[in-house]
Structure 1
């Protein structure tokens, strides 16, 4: 397809330098598809890129189109693409993996050491059109709307965390109820968790977790979690802890209320060191599991099933803006004034 499109680009290294520009519509390679983008959700990664922190500066070489949580319609495909059709509605797995290393060969592509990321190490989707490898597109035959479909990438990460360990009939604590944590609470409840206890100090986020399915909300600033959590669980310790906060202190505190043989899944990120008494961890038979992205593509299929069963993500979207107001979308995400802000090209 020929023509010019509008897109949001990190134009140069350094703080800021994120601008709305015009570029040629990207050309598809033999294994690529071209997508008419309908919605892009703002992510914390986009804020990191704007702020040019160590995470972003070590991974991105500007100029680069940002944005990776998106939905759209396939309008062109490469000559070797057969599994995707023109007109398909898609979201996308943002990790582009090598398929040749021993990790990929063992079915663990989500932790491939050679991963490239859409919107970070190659052009993203905060644009009128986006070009991606066809294998990264996930087709959705049924979906609520384009805005909800743009949430799939973070939603499927929440699915990975919440289904890493069996939760049916179990007590579950969710630490950190930003957008992914709130979705994680919803997944845990939909998967049959007996009780979901949300730990969140920000009032609006805590309310969102309750809207999404959490049974109990604990504010860790106002209550002592080591006592409040068992009290909220009828005096019992907790089976599964899901961390979406990256708060090292909160993760360490979970050891005070988790059962022997309890499971802890951590999706949140931190540059602080986590410390605990190893003998206690060993003798109690605890499990700590890092959650990296989305299992490719099992978690996507699970996510489709959860949506088909009635799980509703519409409450996660609190703001919708035109792409031209991307700076406001980034500001809302940076300040935490939104749950999810979706930009419309």
Structure 2
């Protein structure tokens, strides 16, 4: 009988298929929290990779989700190393395909179904929002800015890091959390968004889905893996105005999108860090949108992967710089009289830049050793 690792080598995982299933069937946060992976789907049967086949909470959560989708479950054991490797590859894949060099964090394709609460949540609150999206799209990457001239201004001194002061606080004023849906439908767009945010921020990772029909709009939100409520048959002007309020919150242009756009902003809410991920997509009748709130262990894992990616990028660029300086050194050594006739204008700025980088590395080393 083959061992689990031998079986996996004989039948290598189709990571592209797994990534699609994470996007459309079982979201990243649930995969991370419950240590599961959607390996393949055949008709209405999902092959589910599990680190622990005896994890009844994971089985219950996924069965509840798949029951909502009219899908059955076939568990298969995988090892923890494979599980984490695939999730890391998923994040690297989404970063490389949808990197956005802006003032916000790089976007990542969003899972489109229920997601479990993470840090600090009890097992009775595992599971989150359930929204099914059938549209996939790529982000529009902005072109890189033109290179700066070689003579750089002297870099300023780095201020000490104060992460808490840099992250804006998300202010929510929800006065109708216990009111019937009819009350919400009568609210103006800005207040309606406040009420919706108040609901998805009650715990764990929440999600809102905005679906536009030909004659009306619909807004869904969910918690603990099941849809909690649906605002149906909303006037289209109110529906679009709420989406526009979300665009304002995340600093997206108010013009209708022509291609799927995704943006993320960091906020603090009730003393906890969270990430708001808005995805807006063109549809047959206008715009659809999803809003996901990422926090706890899922947010921590995502941020760790960002640091890993940034550190690798920094190392790659540093190696490129070293090769260029080596070329410069050899060229100057072969033709020393050229420097006597015309000194290198970029050398002082380069020296200052390297000193600033060294100061930044000192800060990073200090943060690594800090308790």
Judge same fold: TM > 0.5, yes or no: no
TM-score (norm 1): 0.28
- Of structures 1 and 2, the larger Rg is shown by 2
Higher strand proportion: 1
Higher helix proportion: 2
TM-score (norm 2): 0.27
